[in-house]
Amino acid sequence: MRGRFVLIAALVLAPLVAPVSPAGPRFYNDDPIPREPETRDAAGAAPLGIDLFYEYAYNLFVTARRKPTNTRALNVNTIDEVPDSSWFTNRVGASPMSAQQIARGPNSDAKPAPEQWVILREKTSGTNPGFTVKDGNGQTWFLQFDPPEYPGASTADVQIATKVFWALGYNQVETFITTFDPRRVVIDPTATKRRLSGERTPFTRDDMQVVLERAARTNDGTYRASVGRLLEGKVLGNFRYAGTRPDDPNDLVPHEHRRELRALRVFGAWMNLVDLKAGNTLDELVAANGHSVIRHYLQDVGSSLGMANDYGVWDQGWEYFYDGPAMRKRLLSFGFDLSPWQTVPYVEYPSVGRFEGERFDPTTWKPQTPTTAYMNLDADDAFWAARRVAAFSDELIRAAVHEGQFSDPAAERHLAAVLMQRRDRIAQAYLPAINPVVDPKLSPDGTLVFENAAVAAGVAEAPTAYSTTWSWFDNATGATRPIGAAESATTSVAAPGWSRDGGQFVEIDIACASDAHPSWQQPVRAYFRRTSAGWKLVGLERPAAPLTASAPAKRGAEK
């Protein structure tokens, strides 16, 4: 594979309808690229820190004012898909996934050994109480507890969200639910705690008890905890949602134009992952193929499913931390003009956060602060993301939720039902918004078959007809020779005047006749190359479109 990924991304794939350059063919033998090339050594990368309060302020008062650049995602391949990389691995929707697979998620068989915990240091980030510890096998873990107001909720949230975001394709830390028994705790002699004076002094059992006072305790005196395994590579700090990392020679696509980072606006809305910030990411230097590369993690997805709400806070997912128009409206009306989140009829369980699907609208959802990648989501990105959300069957959702180990079956059923409602709202909002033709295939006899993603998801009626325009395509010059046009009432279309010897490449435009969805008339263009095994899809183009959405139904489906 040649190191031409960024050249393709920047010059060809970004404006997918750009003319072919005379410098080379439109498609190469390795198209579509299945994995992003990462061939250069990143051993010189150094730890990078990002100040939390600066990031909050910048995103709230600068990023939130930005307008979309209308730049197409730059890291897609020639069939408009995101290749695997150190950022992302195609999983759900790319191949069949079982309930067992999502239940396992990123975890290995090496579970924590809770027979004895050795406290190494205090937890230094996040709001939930916890420690850095070693277990009975000497493995290092980051351990955190549930708050007293929500016993079982935070630990369940971390488990469920980790499984879901792993299935979506993101690198996730191994996490488990375990038990912490303070009677079986040893404090490492080198463990220290920073005092109010700034001085570090030895960590004591009294310090441990202060932490445990903010944790939910079970009746037998133990504590339920979530633990995340220490990564084995060299930790390099966080990644940003804009620009590139200057000391990573493989990081050539600006992060705001990486589709998998833009798509967090859709995935985050589904899971209510409101804490989208660089501080909840992690870069790790690892060995791969004989050299060092940087692997990028969504390190903390536990601010999901309503569990980012502090006790008595209700607006997470509805407004930014600072949302001027909404705050001014409440101020000028002396609080009588209620915001949407003030009237949501939440169904509350002690082990479930404030998470609902009745009023959920993915098009208006907001995290605590926006990111530059969030602001650049376009219709193509949202469609790509919505297909992956829609690929989560009821079975997969129930399997992921079951990993939260709820003591109340009703709470488990409720959380799964809300995720199904929100999934269906996302599918309804984004799948019908643009021409939803996907997965075209061409048989040797010239029969084209494809799928309508919106119809398959049950969020749109089938169009009255599909119209296709066929041409032979010259890969060297970009010239075309017409073959003809054909229509069909189904997603199977026979080529007009088909000849097996017409050429090596075929170009087919596919449009949908739908009065309900005028945007479907803008054709999707597919390119096929003749191979010894038959016709291979090597190109797929969608017309550029701003981010729009179909109006969500007043009530989401509950399955």
Per-residue pLDDT reduced to its tens digit, 74-83: 999 999 999 9
pLDDT band at 23 (very low <50, low <70, confident <90, very high): low
505 touches 511 (CB < 8 A): no
Among 142-156, 172-186, 210-224, 545-559, the minimum mean pLDDT is found in: 545-559
Query: Both tokens of residue 257?
Result: 């134009």
- The answer to whether residue 19 scores a pLDDT higher than 70 is no
Return the higher-pLDDT residue of 8 and 81: 81
Among 207-221, 309-323, 497-511, the minimum mean pLDDT is found in: 309-323
| pLDDT in the model for residue 8 | 43
Nearest to 557 by CA among 422, 386, 360, 410: 422
* Mean pLDDT of the 183-189 span: 95
Question: Locate tokens 């690929």: which residue?
Answer: 391
289: left (phi over 0), alpha (psi -120 to 50) or beta: left
Return the higher-pLDDT residue of 498 and 413: 413
pLDDT band at 126 (very low <50, low <70, confident <90, very high): low
What residues have CB less than 8 Å from 53, skipping those under 6 apart? none
- The answer to whether residue 3 scores a pLDDT higher than 70 is no
- The answer to whether residue 229 scores a pLDDT higher than 60 is yes
The overall average pLDDT reported for the chain is 90
Other residues' Cβ atoms within 10 Å of the Cβ of residue 488: 14
| pLDDT in the model for residue 342 | 84
- The answer to whether residue 233 scores a pLDDT higher than 80 is yes
Whole-number Å distance between alpha carbons of 233 and 247 = 17
* Mean pLDDT of the 460-466 span: 97
Largest CA distance in the chain: 84
Among 306-315, 328-337, 481-490, the minimum mean pLDDT is found in: 306-315
pLDDT band at 7 (very low <50, low <70, confident <90, very high): very low
pLDDT band at 482 (very low <50, low <70, confident <90, very high): very high
Percent above pLDDT 70 for the chain: 92
Helical packing angle, 264-271 and 153-168, nearest 10°: 150
Q: Based on C-alpha coordinates, what's the Rg of the chain?
A: 25
- The answer to whether residue 555 scores a pLDDT higher than 70 is no
Give the amino acid at 66: R
- Structural domains in the chain, CATH included, are 5-86+246-282+307-431 (no CATH), 103-235 (no CATH), 435-541 (2.60.40)
pLDDT digits (tens, 9 = 90+) for 103-122: 999 999 999 999 999 999 88
Whole-number Å distance between alpha carbons of 486 and 493 = 7
Among 175-179, 259-263, 343-347, 408-412, the minimum mean pLDDT is found in: 343-347
Question: Locate tokens 């997805």: which residue?
Answer: 301
* Mean pLDDT of the 226-251 span: 95
| pLDDT in the model for residue 4 | 40
pLDDT band at 13 (very low <50, low <70, confident <90, very high): very low
Written in H, E and C, the secondary structure of 55-68 is: HHHHHHHCHHHCCC
Identify the helix (H) or strand (E) that includes residue 372: helix 372-375
* Mean pLDDT of the 332-339 span: 80
- The answer to whether residue 505 scores a pLDDT higher than 70 is yes
Nearest to 320 by CA among 370, 268, 372, 261: 370
Give the amino acid at 541: E
What residues have CB less than 8 Å from 436, skipping those under 6 apart? 383, 452, 453, 454, 455, 460, 512, 520
Query: Both tokens of residue 367?
Result: 């995290």
- The answer to whether residue 53 scores a pLDDT higher than 90 is no
- The answer to whether residue 21 scores a pLDDT higher than 70 is no
Whole-number Å distance between alpha carbons of 82 and 545 = 18
What residues have CB less than 8 Å from 351, skipping those under 6 apart? 150, 151, 152, 153, 156, 404, 406, 407, 408, 411
* Mean pLDDT of the 279-303 span: 93
415 touches 262 (CB < 8 A): no
